[in-house]
Amino acid sequence: MAEQNKQTVTFIIERQDGPDSKPYTQEFEIPYRPALNVVASLMEIQKNPVTKDGKKVAPVVWECNCLEKVCGACMMVINGRARQACCALIDELEQPIHLAPARTFPVIRDLLIDRSVMFESLKRIQGWVEIDGTWEVKDAPIQNPYTAQTAYEISHCMTCGCCLEACPNVGPQSDFIGPAPTVQAYLFNLHPLGKFDKEKRLNTLMEKGGITSCGNSQNCVQACPKNIKLTTYLAQVNRDVNKQALKNIFNK
Amino acid sequence: MINTTFYLRRLHSICGLLALGGMLMEHIFTNSMALGGSAVFNAALETMELIPKPIFLGIEVGLIAVPFLFHGIYGIYIALQAKNNTGSYGYARNWQFLLQRCTAWYLLVFLIWHVGYLRIFTKGISGTPISYELVQSYISNPIIFVLYIIAMFAAIFHFCNGITTFCMTWGIAKGPRIQCVIDKLCMLMALALCLVTVAYMGSYLL
Ligand code: SF4
Ligand code: SF4
Ligand code: FES
């Protein structure tokens, strides 16, 4: 608990003017108020973008939408760890608070990053269910309620990218699509209609950059703000791809 | 659908567990004979010599050298894909992930030296048979002793942690409880094997 200085909150923010410019840091001080969080603090800085030593600077750029941990947009590295800025309470953070962009993704400006690689990966694993009009809604196969519980948990994923930022095997040095899209493939494989494309998804996950790039460091499950049991489902997908490999070998 | 990456990865995993793990266990088993003294150790080596030369060489090349080279070379490729981040994410499994890669780098260099000097040069080229006395005089050099004991600890950790990750990679251990139990059991096994190693290596110095 940051009892130390209740009057002000100090931030050290890693900034960057454009995708290819060099990062630099700036220190900001804002007045403290109860229940302040990182997004609200960034808004304060935006209102009055003056550094601690009195220099007027361009306001810090970042992204947010929902402000309640459901959209995923506000992911950044706070005191060394990837998390959602909108639910990072100042009272629970050690000061000075270090903010940095999640460099696993391309940085657009300051704390704003481009997470579109995750959406590309979701397309790659076919993260959707084909609805082809074969059934009237009332005749469609139903989901087993136990399976639905698991599916519900995984469907909480907001593509925030915390798990990718924490994963040592995701980044510019590797082509791993990362834990979130891999586990989303399992979500759609659980769906009564989605499972028609199970083989396709599993075969995609066997390709370069698929699940075999996971090195079992298990950072992802610790990082996920939605508490999705990522490592459990990664093991399940491992099981599934192994079975699929046997089918590929012996069924043809 | 060919999925070369998938098969290479799984081959890397199984090679490590069976061929390399088997080789490590054989080393610990045979070398622990040194605890019984010169006669017992030399007798164990002679028993191995009973395997006909061509078969022995076949095993060495097919079941040891080739899997080692594959595991090592493909392993370099895997290790280079990680950006280690234990500084920010200091969880136990992340440390194990880092250690798995550090031990691999150490062993890569060590094994070139170890196999190059003892197997290829000493036993192969100069034709000196390996014996208790040879090993004793070799590791009585404190630097070599330390480098060897680090290598054994590294190999044991790499193998035992490898069993844990094998169970995850092959989808054997799925839930967090079983994964944790396997992790703990493997680390206990690593500890036991390290103690055995200290015992037999130390016995040369007594
Ligand atoms: S368990 Fe796999 S996916 Fe999760 S952080 Fe580690 S390497 Fe990445
Ligand atoms: S799995 Fe969790 S950490 Fe990863 S993107 Fe989804 S919500 Fe974020
Ligand atoms: S703003 Fe939507 S998760 Fe933080």
* Mean pLDDT value across residues A162-170: 97
Q: What is the per-residue pLDDT for A1?
A: 46
Q: Which of B118, B147, B144 is nearest to B45 (CA)?
A: B118
Asked if the Cβ–Cβ distance from B81 to A206 is below 8 Å, we say no
Q: Which residues of B touch A100 (CB under 8 A)?
A: none
* Mean pLDDT value across residues B163-172: 96
Q: What is the per-residue pLDDT for B110?
A: 97
Is the confidence at residue B49, as pLDDT, over 90? no
> Which atom of ligand 3 lies closest to the CA of A66?
2
Q: Which of B152, B165, B121, B140 is nearest to B13 (CA)?
A: B165
Map residue B16 onto helix, strand or coil.
helix
Cα separation, B200 vs B32, in Å, equals: 5
Q: Is any ligand 2 atom within 6 A of the Cβ of residue A180? A: yes
Cα separation, A102 vs A111, in Å, equals: 8
Cα separation, A76 vs A162, in Å, equals: 8
Q: How crowded is residue A30: how many other Cβ atoms within 10 Å of its Cβ?
A: 20
Q: Which of A176, A212, A229 shows the shortest C-beta gap to B6?
A: A212
Q: Is any ligand 1 atom within 6 A of the Cβ of residue A209? A: no
When pLDDT is cut at 50, 70 and 90, the band that residue A5 belongs to is low
Could you report the per-residue pLDDT of B67-77, keeping only the tens digit for each? 999 999 999 99
What residue spans of chain B are helical by DSSP H?
4-14, 21-32, 38-49, 53-59, 66-79, 92-114, 132-139, 142-169, 176-205
How close is the Cα of A178 to the center of ligand 1, in Å?
A: 7
Q: Which ipTM did the prediction report? A: 0.91
> Which atom of ligand 1 lies closest to the CA of A219?
5
- Nearest residue in A to B12, CA atom: A212
Is the confidence at residue A2, as pLDDT, over 50? no
Is the confidence at residue A16, as pLDDT, over 50? yes
Tell whether A234 is within 8 A of chain B (Cβ). yes
Q: What is the per-residue pLDDT for B1?
A: 56
What is the number of residues in chain A? 252
- Nearest residue in A to B84, CA atom: A168
Listed by start position, the domains of chain B span 4-83+92-204
The owner of tokens 């990218």 is: A161
**Domains of chain A (ranges plus CATH)?**
2-113 (3.10.20.30), 116-250 (1.10.1060.10)
CA torsion sign, B111 to B112 to B113 to B116?
positive
Q: What is the per-residue pLDDT for B123?
A: 86
* Mean pLDDT value across residues A35-61: 95
**Lowest pLDDT segment from A89-93, B34-38, B148-152:** B34-38
Is the confidence at residue B3, as pLDDT, over 70? yes
Is the confidence at residue A138, as pLDDT, over 90? no
B155 class by beta-carbon count within 10 Å (0-12 exposed, 13-18 middle, 19+ buried)? buried
Map residue B98 onto helix, strand or coil.
helix
